[in-house]
């Protein structure tokens, strides 16, 4: 019986839904992290197809790499035991994500003259940063042996970030913890 179920599942046609990015911000890190978190709840193989590429819907960096901007569309494809439920729920969840996404205000680069030497950088936050210039050198150093593997270190970090997210869920900044956790999960899969 189990063998027949597997054959039947393989022959099922994937459920495909076309979704359109409506947020002025595009499909960026925070909503992607939230979306990926919801995808993981389903016993189904879920992919996103856009720009002639297909990526697994649990891999934040690969979804980011699709560079989905406002008015772009993608196909959500679900296969497997919970494909129908996943397609319906994730489609509704995605529409809610787009509706709830807050417009990121453009930061205008301000011109200011300083008496000291200054460097112009890319503005990523409001305000002025003033600090002494520092020259960095790189040199090789030996690394102390540790019993902790990189895989274990990533797992511990992932757990700590997720706990920070849970403790700060109501704050907008908490989404950064969730997004970083998703990025670490990707690294953990590679190692």
Torsion angle (degrees, nearest 10) of CA 87, 90, 96, 102: -140
Pairing outcome for strands 73-79 and 53-56 = unpaired
According to DSSP, residue 145 is labeled P
Q: How many CB atoms lie within 10 A of CB 78?
A: 25
Rounded to whole angstroms, how far apart are CA atoms 90 and 39? 7
- Is 45 catalytic? The answer is no
Rounded to whole angstroms, how far apart are CA atoms 129 and 50? 39
In angstroms, the Cα distances linking 59 to 23, 44, 169 are 21, 15, 22
**For the purposes of burial, counting CB atoms within 10 Å of the CB of 32, is it exposed (0-12), middle (13-18) or buried (19 or more)?**
buried
Q: How many whole angstroms from its chain centre is CA 33?
A: 4
* Identified catalytic residue from 28, 45, 51, 187: 28
Phi and psi angles of residue 56, each rounded to the nearest 5 degrees, phi first? -70, 135
Catalytic residues: 28
């Amino acid at each position: 019986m189990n063998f027949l179920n597997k054959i039947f599942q393989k022959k099922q046609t994937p459920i495909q839904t076309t979704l359109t990015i409506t947020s002025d911000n595009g499909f960026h890190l925070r909503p992607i992290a939230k979306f990926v978190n919801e995808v993981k709840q389903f016993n189904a193989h879920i992919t996103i197809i856009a720009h002639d590429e297909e990526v697994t819907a649990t891999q934040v960096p690969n979804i980011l790499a699709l560079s989905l901007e406002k008015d772009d569309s993608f196909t959500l494809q679900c296969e497997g035991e919970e494909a129908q439920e996943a397609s319906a729920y994730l489609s509704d969840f995605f529409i809610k994500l787009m509706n709830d996404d807050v417009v990121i205000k453009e930061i205008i680069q301000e011109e200011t003259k300083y008496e000291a030497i200054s460097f112009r950088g890319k503005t990523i936050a409001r305000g002025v940063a003033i600090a002494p210039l520092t020259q960095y050198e790189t040199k090789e150093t030996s690394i102390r042996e540790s019993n902790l593997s990189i895989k274990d270190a990533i797992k511990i970090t992932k757990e700590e970030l997720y706990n920070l997210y849970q403790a700060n869920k109501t704050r907008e900044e908490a989404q950064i913890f969730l997004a970083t956790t998703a990025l670490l999960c990707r690294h953990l899969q590679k190692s």
